[in-house]
Amino acid sequence: MAHTTPLVTALGGNDTIARKVAMVLSGSLLVAAAAQVSVPMFPVPMTLQTLAIMLIGLTYGARLAGATLVAYLGQGAMGFPVFAGGAFGLAPLMGPTAGFLFGFVAMAFVMGWLVERGLSKGFGLFAAALLATAVLFVPGVLWLFAATPLDLQGAFMAAAAPFLLGEVVKAAVAALIVTGAFAALKSRLG
Ligand SMILES: O=C(O)CCCC[C@@H]1SC[C@@H]2NC(=O)N[C@@H]21
C-alpha cells in the first residue's frame, strides 16, 4: 500500500520538535478532558477517551499518535488526574481498566499506521478507526479476565459488550470530523 499523508502533515508548517511537542501535549490534554466525560459503570466506565484517540490517530500519523498516548499514560503515572473519573497514579495502570490504558497506545499507533497506508479518506477513515478500536478491546478484555475472577465471557460482557455500538458511532463521528477538516483545508488552499 502507498504511504499517504495524515492531516497534520497536510496542514504544512515546519516539522519542528516544538511543533511535535505541542501536538503531543494538546493531544494528551484532549484525551484527559475526554476521560472526564464519563458514565461511571463498574468495572469499566463509559467515556469519550476513544473518540479523542480516534481524532488523534486519524490525523497525527502513527508515531506521533503513539507518542501522544505514551505521554498521556506518563502524565497519569506522575499524578495528574487524567484517567477516567479523575483517577491518577500507578493504581489505574494496574487496575481493571489497565488493559484499555495500555491498549490506547496500540490503538492510536495502529490507526495512524492504517491512515498512512491509504485508509485516509471517507470510509477508509471510518474503517481505520474501527479496526484500531477492535485492537484496543483485545488487551481491554484479556486484562479484565486475568486481573479479576471473571471468566472470559464475563470479561467480554463487562468490558466489550456495553461499548461496541457506541464505538461504531464514535468512529463515524471521528471520520466525519476529519473528513470535514480535510475539506476545509482543501478549500482554504484552493
Ligand atoms: O480508566 C481509564 O481511564 C480507562 C477507561 C477505559 C474505558 C473503555 S475505553 C473502550 C470502552 N469504551 C468506553 O466508553 N469505555 C471503555
Give CA–CA dist 160/181, Å, rounded: 30
> Percent helix, strand and coil across the chain, each rounded to 5?
75, 0, 25
User: Cis peptide before 43, with omega less than 30 degrees from 0?
Assistant: yes
The phi and psi torsions of 19 (rounded to 5 degrees) equal -65, -45
Q: What is the pTM (predicted TM-score) of this model?
A: 0.94
- In tens, the pLDDT along 11-29 reads 665 589 999 999 999 999 9
Residue nearest ligand 1's atom 14 by CA: 46
Task: State which amino acid sits at residue 108.
Answer: A
Residue of 31, 37, 47 to test ligand 1 pocket, by largest number of atoms within 8 Å of CB:
47
Q: Region of 12 please: left (phi>0), alpha (psi -120 to 50) or beta.
A: left
**ipTM for this prediction:** 0.99
| All domains of the chain in start order, with CATH | 7-189 (1.10.1760.20)
- In tens, the pLDDT along 29-65 reads 999 999 999 999 999 999 999 999 999 999 999 999 9
Work out which ligand 1 atom sits closest to the CA atom of 38.
14
pLDDT above 70 covers a percentage of the chain that reads 94
Residue of 36, 38, 44 to test ligand 1 pocket, by largest number of atoms within 8 Å of CB:
44
Ligand 1 centroid vs 183 CA: distance in angstroms?
Answer: 30
Residues with CB under 6 A from ligand 1: 35, 44-47, 49-50, 83-84, 92, 97, 100-101, 163, 166
